[in-house]
Structure 1
Amino acid sequence: MRKRNKTIAIRCTEDEYNRMHRRAREHGMKLSDFVLRTALGKKIIIAEGLQDVVRQQRAIGNNLNQLTRLANQGEINVIDLKAMIKEYSAVTDMISEVLREVR
């Protein structure tokens, strides 16, 4: 885990400070995190409700794993389960990419 142990002091006007603070609040971030991400050129994405989608995606993944196990045991016949898993993985990868950009 990275430890942020360096401090940078900058000077700005009252208006600039207020604008940065307002934008950080709008993004649900602390001012230092907002300034750091902006300075490093990272995208700041508001992904409201994404955690719920990820939770549901995990539940679907668990169900797919159970179906896969049952199909491999010959207890059920599932048509095109490999394609379904591939699509699920693609969606999961997209969600993961968005989360990496947000963090």
Structure 2
Amino acid sequence: MVHRTKKMTFRLSEEEYRQIKEKVEESGLSQQKFLLKTALEKEIFHIKEFQTLIFHVKKIGININQIARNCNGTGAISNDDMIEIKEGVNMIWQLLNQSKIHTQA
């Protein structure tokens, strides 16, 4: 058994307290085990690290919409458009992989 000698105290609003109590009850764990498990075992994602990813996804989404409009108008998609879509998807994958590495570090 782990010997715990440190104590933490923090304040909650009524709503936060109610939500945590509800989740603790649903989990079937003690409050201490629940809080330790969620604090130590859950992966935390930092929003700041995803801002670049979000920017590029939006930009690529706009490009894909423009390509789709052109395709709907002409009934065909150009080789250049396909290359642009592939490059955009590759960029998203690279950014996702970088973000994954940073959140695991």
Shorter chain as normaliser: what TM range? 0.3 to 0.5
TM-score by length of 2: 0.45
More helix by share: 2
Larger radius of gyration: 2
Greater relative CO (CA pairs within 8 A, separation 6+) = 2
In the superposition, the TM-score normalised over structure 1's length comes to 0.45
